Structure 1
Amino acid sequence: MSHRILVLYGSYRSDRMGIRLADFITKRLAARSADVELIDAKAVGLPMLDRMHKEYAKGTAPPAMEALATKIKAADAFVFVTGEYNWGMQPGLKNLTDHFLEEWFWRPAAIASYSAGRIAGARSNLTWHGTLSEMGMVVVSSVLTVGPISEALDDKGEPTTSGAGQALDKSFPRFADDLAWWTDAAKAQRAQKAPPY
């Protein structure tokens, strides 16, 4: 059974390296027969959070917000691809995520982080775990931490022969398997029993 997965990426920088990781994940999930779509926060272009999607009267939300809400509701799972900015999370991705709440409920999320250094975005990864849990997602235990990002992936989003590239290539199957297991579990539970609220 095919899974509908959204890969969400949030850098607004002009020389974005993390897009390589987002492309890598999107391609690898598609190769595993997932129905996968990359959602680029910069391309979506939501404003700084003023009102959440649910705070608009039906049919009056901005078109980009409405379209994304529809995609989130239709998804079976999510992958959040996030850089680390000064030990914290990427503001662009956080802003996009905060426009929604109930739309995220009852689906699993996986986190892939990156940075220019050897810490590989691990601190951002940890921060996102609590945030996504609070927003009603089941966060899978397998994570990807990629760094240095410029050494791990080439400009086409393919792993390099460096140690960082080989580590990513080796760790991806477990990451994807974990997400697939929780996606199947969540779909089966939603089909069997309505969410408690």
Structure 2
Amino acid sequence: MTDRILVFYGSYRSDRRGIRLADFLVRSFRERGADAELIDAKQVGLPMLDRMYKEYPPGEAPATMEQLAGKIRAADAFVFVTGEYNWGQQPGLKNLTDHFLEEWYWRPTAIASYSAGRLAGAHASVAWHGTLSEMGMVVVSSTLTVGSIGQSLDEAGEPIGEGGSALARTFPRFADDLAWWTGAAREQKKRVAPPY
């Protein structure tokens, strides 16, 4: 069975280098046979959180939110691609994520972080781990970290230089870990319905 993976990216900046990592991941998961789709928070364009999806009466949520809720519910796994802003999470990605709750439950997720510097978004990765766990996802132990993003991936999301070589070497284990948990969750759901 083909894994349906949503890759979330959340920078709203005009010079978005992290999109290179998101593009690399979508392409790389597809090359492994997954059905991967990029969800770009800037393109989705949800407003600052006022009402969560579940707070709308059935059929009354904005069309964009309704469509995204359906994609989240239909997905087998998620990947969050995150930059680091002052040791924290990107507000655009956090805002998109907070519009939903139950839609995320009982699925594995992985975190890929990046930065222009050498710390590769490690602080944001740690912050996301707790947030995603609280929202009902199982965060896999493998992570990807890409420092010096502009020197590690070209504009097409192709690995370049030493950083790109490191990314190409570490991606297979990252993807294998997510695939294992995705398969485990799928089999468990066949045996036992989620408790709520």
One fold, TM greater than 0.5?
A: yes
Alignment gaps of 5+ in structure 1: none
Paired with 1:163 and 1:35, the residues of 2 have a C-alpha distance of 29
Paired with 2:30 and 2:102, the residues of 1 have a C-alpha distance of 26
1:82, distance to aligned residue in structure 2 (A): 0.4
The alignment of Structure 1 onto Structure 2 pairs a total of residues equal to 196
Q: What per-residue deviation string (whole Å, max 9, x for no partner) do you get for residues 119-166 of structure 1?
A: 000000000000000000000000000011001100000000x21111
Q: Indicate yes or no: 2:188 matched with 1:193.
A: no
Q: Please name the residue that 1:180 is paired with.
A: 179
Q: Secondary structure of 1:142's match?
A: strand
Q: Indicate yes or no: 2:144 matched with 1:144.
A: yes
Q: CA RMSD in A?
A: 0.4
Paired with 2:138 and 2:44, the residues of 1 have a C-alpha distance of 25
Q: Secondary structure of 2:81's match?
A: strand
The one-letter code of the counterpart of 2:131 is: T
The sequence identity of aligned pairs, in percent, is 72
Q: How does 1:4-83 map to 2 (within 5 A)?
A: 4-83=4-83
1:86, distance to aligned residue in structure 2 (A): 0.5
4+ residue stretches of structure 1 with deviation over 3 A?
A: none
Paired with 1:191 and 1:150, the residues of 2 have a C-alpha distance of 43
Q: Secondary structure of 1:13's match?
A: coil
Q: Please name the residue that 2:111 is paired with.
A: 111
TM-score, normalisation: structure 2: 0.99
Q: Please name the residue that 2:170 is paired with.
A: 171
1:23, distance to aligned residue in structure 2 (A): 0.1
Q: Indicate yes or no: 2:159 matched with 1:154.
A: no
Q: What per-residue deviation string (whole Å, max 9, x for no partner) do you get for residues 100-135 of structure 1?
A: 000000000000000000000000000000000000
Paired with 2:159 and 2:147, the residues of 1 have a C-alpha distance of 12
Paired with 1:57 and 1:191, the residues of 2 have a C-alpha distance of 30
Q: Secondary structure of 1:141's match?
A: strand
Q: Secondary structure of 1:140's match?
A: strand
1:84, distance to aligned residue in structure 2 (A): 0.3
1:196, distance to aligned residue in structure 2 (A): 1.3
